[in-house]
A and B are shown apart, each in its own frame.
Chain A
Amino acid sequence: MYTKDGESYFIVDSHVHLWDGSPENQANRYGKGFIECFYDYHRNLSPEEWVWPLEKFEKYGEATLMKDLFEDGYVDKAIFQPTYLTDFFTNGFNTTEQDGLLAERYPDKFIVNGAWDPRDGEAGLEALERLTQRWKLRGVKLYTAEWKGDSKGWKLTDDWSYRYLEKCRELGIRNIHVHKGPTIYPLNRDAFDVADVDDVATAFPELNFIIEHVGLPRLEDFCWIATQEPNVYGGLAVAMPFIHSRPRYFAQIIMELLYWLDENRITFASDYAIWHPKWLIEKFVDFQVPEDMQGEYGTLTPDVKRKILGVNAANLYDIEVPREAAVPDEVADSTEAVGSAPAVPA
């Protein structure tokens, strides 16, 4: 819980990792390139005093994570989002099992999400059942840019992906976190295209699709889909740290999201260890839309911040929110589409 100026905020960090990107675990130059790319994200958007040496960033370990999230970082509940990348890292970058072992020791601190890959076919469906039983999964994280042998990516609309989404429905996995990375295949399409989200969100209205990084770098395409699909959410990982280096751009992102979606479908995330939740939360609670932009965009209230920082994710995962950080119920009007506009320019 974070308290400032008499306001309390219950914090659910919806996207954290415990990874091993160390040279010993790197399987090839792609693994090295991957962790270095993450490190540049970290260095580019963190305040100077929060920048780690590369060696620590590659492998920081459990004790660091526990201290950063729960002692220093105000986090009440953290959601592990696995990222396997077994073609790049010998033991995987960050698997459900690795997350789960830590979560079992601190059952009140973590939610463990799983993952699946439609290219694993029938065997993968059985594995998903076992994974769900073992870790009581309520959510999965999908990474469409993951390489697997000759295949360099997949789409949510692939036939086997539908089979897996049906399996999720059957197993009670309600929350589908989708990370669009620079998919390699098909190379002649826009890698970050979120159009496939639109199709599956319509086909599976009982599932929630939380689009990580709010679709960045395709914010506009994400907004257009989310305004029409009430079960599409925006996860703020990667968007949050702009609050420090580019606060005006951050204001634009947040207020665009609030315009096209609504305040109930945006969830806070640090993407730890790329960024540390402590400074993100402190800056977000202090944040206001710059004065010269308020005429255009309005302002952020403590209730909206409370929803984004914890209440919305708590609703997705049935986490109880303490009374002092709850937001009074109101008629949430998330089904009305803003976009009664002309067809979206493709």
Chain B
Amino acid sequence: MTAATTSLAERAWEALATVDDPELGRPITELGFVLAATVLSTPAGTGVDVRLRLPTYFCAPNFAYLMVADAYDALVAVRGLDWAEVRLTDHFAAEEINAGVAARDGFADAFEGQAVGELDELRRTFRRKAHLACLERTCRKLLDDGWRIDALAHATLGEIPASAERDSLTRRRRELGLPASADTPLFVDESGAPIPEEQVEQRLRFAKTVRVSIDGNTGWCRGLLRTRYGDDTAAPEGTAQPAAAANPGGAETPRSAEKREVS
């Protein structure tokens, strides 16, 4: 492997790391969903051949489609790559999804007669959930640090201490197209409107349930992926980075908690 292709492989991996599982709100690289990403030189030029895998054969096909399509879009934007191929493996609808993404058909055409439109609203539903869970993590940290609940309604993003939770929250806001500058209120709903003080506690309570649910699903998916493919998930020679090298943890679930729970 030459130095040039190594760096191209790294850039391909970085591009894949920008693709989230839309349901869990985590990068597919971190979740171990990228089985292999191999840079190849062919008559068509230099490209990358990516294989994705999921925790079960029956994982929801709409989410699977989004991940394959997003991975493709991220890769074709990488400078120096002439082509990209992304294929889902071991999934009941792999054939339709792979063909649909490769043909740039859109989701409805890939599942002719079974889908009633594209997936923007679905994606948005889960971005709203991710935002709410992130808001709860941020506020919980503030409450643990001695903040009063009524103060949450009046704080701006810039007034709360810098933290990994705040960074995640800012990212979630931007994903939803909401203002995320330092002078915008901390506690807003999915349309960016501030929540009145008297509603903060109840909304925070529901947000906690959303957070518990997303964290729980993430753990379940990780566990099933391990069971399905085994712990030793090193990718074959010549790939960009093995799935096993993915970095679990990160801002949204402290690694220590993950370790305690998943044995």
Which residues in A have some Cβ–Cβ distance to B below 8 Å?
Answer: 29-30, 33-34, 36-37, 40-41, 43-45, 150, 152, 181-182, 184-192, 216-220, 223-224, 242, 245-249, 252-253, 256, 259-260, 339-342, 344-346
Q: Closest CB of chain A to B159's CB: distance in Å?
A: 23
- Note all chain A residues with C-beta closer than 8 A to B213: 217-220
CB within 8 Å for A188 and B117 given contacts A252-B212, A345-B132, A346-B125: yes
CB pair A40–B114 under 8 Å, yes or no, is: no
B92 near A29 with CB under 8 A, answer yes
CB of B223 within 8 A of CB of A45, answer yes
Contacts of B216 in A (CB 8 A): 216-217, 219, 242, 246, 249, 252-253
Annotate B98-123 by CB proximity to A: 1 below 8 A, 0 otherwise.
00000000011001011111110110
Q: Given A189-B122, A345-B128, A248 and B260 touching (CB < 8 A)?
A: yes
19 sample A-B contacts, Cβ–Cβ < 8 Å, listed by A number? A37-B56, A40-B228, A182-B61, A187-B111, A188-B108, A188-B118, A191-B62, A192-B60, A217-B23, A217-B213, A220-B129, A220-B206, A247-B261, A248-B260, A252-B212, A341-B199, A342-B189, A342-B199, A346-B190
Question: Using Cβ atoms and an 8 Å threshold, which residues of chain B touch A217?
Answer: 23, 213, 216-217, 220
B227 touches A43 (CB 8 A): yes
CA distance A275 to B216 in the complex (A): 19
Q: Are A34 and B114 in contact (CB under 8 A)?
A: no
Contact with B114, one of A44, A186, A218 (Cβ below 8 angstroms)? A186
Q: Which of A186, A219, A220, A247 has the most CB atoms of chain B within a 10 A radius of its CB? A: A220
Determine whether the beta carbon of B189 is less than 8 Å from that of A345.
yes
Query: Which A residues are CB-close (under 8 A) to B122?
Result: 188-190
Across the interface, do B58 and A344 meet the contact criterion of CB distance under 8 Å? no
Q: How far is it, in angstroms, between the C-alpha of A218 and the C-alpha of B61 when the chains are bound?
A: 17
Q: Do A41 and B224 have beta carbons less than 8 Å apart?
A: yes
Asked if B147 CB lies within 8 Å of chain A CBs, one says no
Complex CA–CA separation, A182 to B91 (angstroms): 13
Instruction: Verify B57–A37 contact, CB threshold 8 A.
Output: yes
**0/1 interface trace, chain B 227-263, chain A, CB 8 Å (1 if under):** 1100000000000000000000000000001001111
List the A side residues contacting B195 at CB < 8 Å.
342
In the complex with contacts A44-B227, A346-B128, A339-B116 CB distance below 8 A: no
**Contact partners of A186 in chain B: CB under 8 A:** 114-116
Cβ-closest chain A residue relative to B229: A40
A342 and B202 contacting across the interface, CB-CB below 8 Å: yes
Contacts of A341 in B (CB 8 A): 199, 202-203, 205-206
* Contact for A224 among B117, B206, B217, B228, CB less than 8 A: B206
Q: Which residues from A are CB-within-8-Å of B210? A: 220, 345
Contact of A190 with B125 in the complex, beta carbons under 8 Å: yes
What is the total of A-B residue contacts with beta carbons within 8 Å? 136
Which of A188, A253, A340, A346 is close to B212, meaning CB atoms less than 8 Å apart?
Answer: A253
Answer whether residue B25 sits at the interface, using C-beta atoms and an 8 A cutoff.
Answer: no
Residue of B nearest to A34 (CB): B58
**Residues A184 and B227 in contact, CB atoms below 8 Å apart:** no
A217 CA / B251 CA spacing, docked (Å)? 22
Asked if A342 and B203 sit within 8 Å, CB to CB, the answer is: yes
Are A40 and B224 in touch, CB under 8 angstroms?
yes
Q: Which of B169-228 contact A (CB under 8 A)?
A: 189-190, 195, 199, 202-203, 205-206, 209-210, 212-213, 215-217, 219-220, 223-224, 226-228
What residues of B have a CB within 8 angstroms of the CB of A181 in the complex?
58
Least CB distance, A138 to chain B, in whole angstroms: 30
Residues of B close to A218: CB separation below 8 A: 213
B213 to chain A, nearest CB (A): 4
Contacts of B107 in A (CB 8 A): 187-188
Closest approach, in angstroms, between the C-beta of A3 and any C-beta of chain B?
Answer: 30
**Could you say which of B60, B108, B111, B121 contacts A182, with CB atoms under 8 Å apart?**
B60
A339 partner, pick from B57, B117, B206, beta carbons under 8 A:
B206
| Residues of B with C-beta under 8 A to A249 | 212, 215-216, 219, 261
Chain A, residue nearest B210 (CB): A220
Give chain A nearest CB distance to B85 CB in angstroms. Answer: 23
Q: Bound state CA distance, A37 and B119, in angstroms?
A: 26
Given contacts A34-B57, A217-B213, 17 further A-B contacts (CB under 8 A): A34-B58, A40-B224, A43-B227, A186-B115, A186-B116, A187-B111, A188-B116, A189-B122, A191-B60, A217-B216, A248-B261, A260-B209, A339-B202, A341-B199, A342-B203, A345-B129, A345-B210
Complex interface: chain A residues within 8 A of B113 (CB) = 150
Contact check, B59 vs A182: say whether CB atoms are below 8 A apart: yes
Q: Cβ of B228: which chain A residues have Cβ within 8 Å of it?
A: 40
Complex: chain B residue closest to A219, CB-CB: B213
Contact bitstring B37-67, A, C-beta under 8 A = 1, else 0:
0000000000000000000111111100000
User: Complex formed: what's the CA distance from A44 to B222 in Å?
Assistant: 10
Contact A37 B58 (CB under 8 A): yes
